[in-house]
Amino acid sequence: MLEISTHALRYYEKEEIIKPERDAQGNRRYTDSHLKWLEFVKKLRETQMPIEQIKKYTQLFKEGAHTSIDRLNLLENHRRTIEIQIETLKTTEAMLDKKITSYKQHLSTVNLSS
Amino acid sequence: MLEISTHALRYYEKEEIIKPERDAQGNRRYTDSHLKWLEFVKKLRETQMPIEQIKKYTQLFKEGAHTSIDRLNLLENHRRTIEIQIETLKTTEAMLDKKITSYKQHLSTVNLSS
DNA sequence: AGTTGACTTAGAGTGAACTCTAAGTAATAC
DNA sequence: GTATTACTTAGAGTTCACTCTAAGTCAACT
């Protein structure tokens, strides 16, 4: 569902990013709130937030309400990195569009002459 | 200027992504067209194209005009990955905005009660 | 003449984020 | 009762993209 491998889940657990519950057999149980958290983590990873920072956020969360400002700052910083990424992608996309157009132009010319 | 380390330049050279000229002393000379190429490579890297694919593109380029279609395909594929990346970033940004707003809300409430 | 600085090389090392292995346990299926 | 399946663990291995090291050469300054 979340497309996170079991191995990756173990890794996140080792890094103290997630701590699933255990059933009577000692097997991991991911509740709805675990899944929600993982979904959030996945989004952060997909947008290039390093594990180390996700770990930091998790730790702040555990420390309680008095860390809200720090968490807000962390999220605002990440928001800025997202903005930068979007800018970079758009610039490159524009460059690619130019190249793609010129390739198409070239190819149609070749076709005409053949 | 390009913010690519000499070490990275050597690495790209080893991977046959760039082949600078040499002066009488055997030292590398990057001409304007080399710099242009590196700028292009940098944009591709910044938008997550793997070295392996950049290598592929470079090779096709060397092979000549008859590889235009392949190069076009490669660039169009990358364009699609860029679109996907932008989508992911925007979705996450929206999610962050929600969180950020709710953190701010929370913090202002805390301030009022103190 | 000697030292400094900028380059050269091959190859080893690094950090991030998984990814896999091997050995073990425990419930279910036949 | 044995086989299969699904989990468990600690820890080793992998991949990517650099990044650095060490030893050497060469021109230029003092």
Give domain limits for chain A.
6-112
CATH number for domain B6-112, candidates 3.30.360.10, 3.40.50.800, 1.10.1660.10, 1.10.565.10? 1.10.1660.10
- B88 CB-near residues (< 8 Å, 6+ apart): A43, A46, A47
**Alpha carbon separation from A38 to A91, B48, B69 (Å, rounded):** 31, 23, 41
Tell if the CB–CB gap between B103 and A47 is shorter than 8 Å: no
**Gap between the Cα atoms of A21 and B66, Å rounded:** 59
Residue B18 · residue B12 · CB < 8 Å: yes
- Per residue in B58-79, pLDDT (tens digit) is 999 999 999 999 999 999 999 9
Distance from CA of A12 to the nearest CA of B (A): 20
CA angle B82, B84, B88 (to 5 degrees): 115
Q: Looking at residue B65, what DSSP letter applies? A: G
Which of B77, B79, B76 lies closest to B87, judged by CA? B79
Comparing B109 with B91, the larger pLDDT belongs to: B91
B18-29 pLDDT per residue, tens: 999 999 999 999
Query: Model confidence over B44-61: pLDDT tens digits?
Result: 999 999 999 999 999 999
Q: Tell me whether residues B79 and A95 touch, CB distance under 8 A.
A: no
C-alpha distance from B30 to closest chain A C-alpha (Å): 22
Q: How many CB pairs under 8 A join A and B?
A: 85
Question: What is the DSSP annotation of chain A?
Answer: -----HHHHHHHHHTTS---EE-TTS-EE--HHHHHHHHHHHHHHHTT--HHHHHHHHHHHHH-GGGHHHHHHHHHHHHHHHHHHHHHHHHHHHHHHHHHHHHHHHHHHHHHT-
Chain C positions with a protein C-beta closer than 7 Å: 7-11, 16-21, 26-27
pLDDT per residue as tens, chain A (114 positions): 789 999 999 999 999 999 999 999 999 999 999 999 999 999 999 999 999 999 999 999 999 999 999 999 999 999 999 999 999 999 999 999 999 999 999 998 877 765
Rounded to an integer, what distance in angstroms lies between the CA atom of residue A48 and that of residue A43? 9
D20 C1' – B7 CA distance, angstroms?
9
A:31-60 Cβ neighbours of strand C under 7 Å: 45, 50-52
